[in-house]
Every structure is written in C-alpha cells, then in structure tokens.
Amino acid sequence: MDYNATTPIRAEVLDVVNRVLHRCFGNPSSVHLPGRESKACLEDARRKVAGSIGAEASEICFTSGGSESNNLAIKGAAAARQSGHIITTCIEHSAVRRSCRYLESQGFAVTCLPVDMGGYVEPGAIAAAIRPDTLLITVMWANNETGQIQPVEDIAQIARRSKVLFHTDAVQAFGKIAVDVKRVPVDLLSISGHKFYGPKGVGALYIRRGVELSPQIHGGGQETNLRSGTENVVGAAAMAEACRLAVKDLEGDSVWIAKLRDLLERRILEEVPDTKISGDPSRRVPNTTNISFRGVDAGRLLLKLDERGFAISGASACASGKNEPSTVLMEGMGLTQEEAMGAMRFSLGRYSQEAHITKLLKVLPNIVRDLRLSSARS
C-alpha cells in the first residue's frame, strides 16, 4: 500500500524493455543503422509521452526522473532570466523545495505560500504574491503525502494573465487523474516513470513551445541542447508505454481504486479509535489517504505492519529515512506535532485487492492499541 513511493513495472512495459534493449541498442546520435533504429525508437517514445498529456512531441524533454525534471524546470527557468522572484508553496516535494532554496541562496527572491487546513493553496494568495519581477510559479498538481489536488487550472489562468511561467510537479498526479496541458495551460510539467508502472531512472519535462530554459547538463547537445547525455532509450520507450497504458486505463482504474481507498479509510476510521484524515477528502487523487493515529509513532507502526507484510509509508519515501514529522502536514496543514508524528500514508494501486484491506484490518486495531499502551507506560 505504498504506490506513491514507487510502483511495480507492468508486464506490457517489461515487454518493451525486453524488446528495445535487444533491438535498439545503438546510440541515437550515431548515423549507422543501429543508431537510426535507436533514434526512431526514442522519437516514437517522445510522441507517445506527448500524446498522453496533450502536448507536441517537440515539447518533451527526457530526463533521469522527476527530481531532475523539477531541478531543470526551476533552475533552468531561473538561469534563463538571471534574477527575479519565484512563488511556491510549503507543501512541495523536496526536489522543488530545495531547488527554490538553492535559488534563494543565489540571490533570487522566493515566496513560499501556506496552505489551508484542507491542504490547498489559495489561488487568490498566488495572484496577490505576484510581483513585477516574478518569473515563475511552481505548485504541485497533487501532493505525494496527502493526495490533495491543487487548483492548478486557476493558477494556470492567473499565471497566464500575469505572463509568469507556471511549473507544476505532476509526478503524483499523472496516471491517477487526467493531466492535459491543453486543458490546463501550464508551461512546465514534470513526470516520473516509476510512479505510474514504468521504470525508475527515467522521467520527462514538458516544456511549452516558446518557453526558454537554460540547460542544466551541458555536453553533446542531446534533447535539443536542453539536457545532454546519451539518451536512455530503453527507459524512454518503457515510460512511453507506461504513459499510454496510464491514459488508457485511467478512467476504469480510478473508479475501483477510489472505492477500495474509501473502504480502507472508512474501516480504519471505524475500527481504530482516535484516527483522523488529513486534508480535504473531497479533492484528492483516488488512491491516497493520509490518516493520523493519535498517540502513535508512525515509524513504529510502520515497522510493526512491515513485520506482518504490509508496506506502508510514514510520510514520503524520500524523507522517511529521517524520523521527523512531515513538514507538509505540520507547517503546511497545521496538524499538531502529535498528529503529524502519527500520520500514515496509504497509497493503493493496480494490484491492490479488497483482501489486503481485510487482512490489514485484522491486525491494525491491535497493533495500534499495543503501541498506545506501551507509549503510555513509558
């Protein structure tokens, strides 16, 4: 139940890996046949990725993953403009947060907007924060810890009216809800292959035509000079297949996965006392729920559940090495430290089953009770 951390590769995607690895092994920059085959494969992948978000092929830049996409979008937009002001929120993924902080150290101004109790950033607050020198707004499409969907459509309109670039980290949104750059006119958008049943080590940045970015990796000039380095052809082809499947199955999957998530949530709230959902349940991606177990240390709960074979996350996987309460929940959404310490993220996916939930609920109430008793004693 940790599909927001990563997902298994789908069988169809693995087939592509197998096929492309053996057939298109050339360097896409080489002029001979293996090189041309590789190049064709890469460009086919680019068209598919573009098609899955309503973009043109020329607007897709392949990267090594979501973090690189976010780094490229934010640092690249800033570097192309030398100085200015950036607007972000305090619930962003660390790749965005730390890129903004880095730019702050380089002399850029950064406004970090809070979110309300429901986990939303207020579009009006963004409009109010825009200054004449604002160059970029970066707000995630959906939050990795709570699943909250941000009002990206409104923000895109505001950004457009003010002629400010809008980047959205769609790493957690793509594959879970419809992501279409025609409908939501963002300028830059990051996705990561391994969050939607593609491989790790590949991602993409959508760059609306005409948007100027400075490359962050210099060299052979691949990816129209925006991102040098021999292209990960197999990764790109595999992610493209994952993109295609994600769009094809979105409607069906989101319905049954949401039902399962709702069932999980309802049963936990009913059967485990002193539990509470973080964020506004009405505007979330269909697979995620973040539940606080009051008086419980999420880290210990996670380990107890792991012993029983349940993979669940305390907060986001990237930060979970540290035993700190989530900044998203505390600073962002105003949870108390106790609530944030006891927050667990359940994220479901294609291979989740009702039986898993039944099994979980057989053990969860007792584990939580025991943890509460032992912490009360100590």
Partner 1 sequence: MKSIYLDNNATTRVAPEVFEAMLPYLTEYYGNPSSLHRAGSRAAGAIKEAREKAAAFLHCREQEVTFTGGGTESNNAAIRGVLEAEPDKRHIITSTTEHPSVLELCKHLEKKRYRVTYIDVDEAGQLNLEKLAESLTEDTAIVSLMWGNNETGVVFPIDDIVQIVKPHGIPLHVDAVQAAGKIPIDTRMTEVDLLAVSGHKLHAPKGVGLLYVRRGTRLRPFIIGGGQEKGRRSGTENVAGVVGLGKAFELAESYLTSGVETTRRLRNRLESGILSKIPNASRNGVPELRLPNTSSLNFENVEGEAVLLLLDEIGICASSGSACTTGAVEPSHVLKAMRVPPERAHGSIRFSLSRYTMLDEVECVLKELPPIIIRLSRLSATG
Q: Which of residues 256-315 bind partner 1 (CB under 8 A)?
A: 299, 302-303, 305-306, 309-314
Helix (H, G, I), strand (E, B) or coil at 339: helix
| Candidate ranges 98-106, 107-115, 124-132, 365-373; the one touching partner 1 (CB under 8 A) | 98-106
The answer to whether residue 202 forms part of the interface with partner 1 (CB under 8 A) is yes
By three-state DSSP, how is residue 149 classified? Answer: strand
- Residue 218 binds partner 1, judged by CB under 8 A: yes
Q: In angstroms, give the least distance from the CB of 342 to partner 1.
A: 15
Pairing between strand 109-113 and 134-138? unpaired
Q: Does 364 bind partner 1 (CB under 8 A)?
A: no
Q: Which residues of 11-44 are buried (b: 16+ CB within 10 A; e: fewer)?
A: eebeebbeebeeebebbbeeeeeebebbbebbeb
Is-catalytic flag, 100? no
Helix boundaries (H) for 82-209: 94-105, 123-129, 152-161
Options 146, 222, 278, 347; binder of partner 1; rule CB under 8 A:
222
**From 1-9, 46-54, 180-188, 252-260, span contacting partner 1 (CB under 8 A):** 1-9
Smaller CB distance to partner 1: residue 132 or 321? Answer: 321
Q: Is 64 in the site for partner 1 (CB under 8 A)?
A: yes
234/246 with CB nearer partner 1: 234
220 touches partner 1 (CB under 8 A): yes
**Within positions 68 to 97, which residues make up the interface with partner 1, using CB under 8 A?**
68, 70-71, 93-96
Nearest distance in Å: CB 122, partner 1: 26
Whole-angstrom distance, CA of residue 206 vs CA of residue 87: 19
The interface with partner 1 within residues 174-193 (CB under 8 A) comprises: 192
As a whole number of angstroms, the distance between CA 35 and CA 113 comes to 47
Pick from 114, 118, 185, 201 the residue near partner 1 by CB under 8 A: 201
> How far, in Å, are 87, 153, 330, 343 from residue 114 at the CA level?
11, 18, 11, 20
Instruction: Output the smallest distance, CB 319 to partner 1, in A.
Output: 7
Given 229, 281, 295, 365, the residue binding partner 1 (CB under 8 A): 229
C-alpha 111, offset from chain centre: 21
Q: Decide: 350 and 197 in contact? Cβ < 8 Å.
A: yes
**Residue 102 touches partner 1, criterion: CB under 8 A:** yes
347 touches partner 1 (CB under 8 A)? no
Within 8 A by CB and 6+ apart from 72, the residues are 61, 63, 205, 213, 215, 216, 226, 227
Rounded to the nearest angstrom, the gap between the alpha carbon of residue 184 and the centroid of all alpha carbons in its chain is: 17
Between strands 85-89 and 275-277, the pairing is: unpaired
Q: Which among 122-130, 146-154, 195-203, 274-282 is the span making contact with partner 1, rule CB under 8 A?
A: 195-203
Query: Binding to partner 1 by residue 7, rule CB under 8 A?
Result: yes
Q: Which residues are catalytic?
A: 318
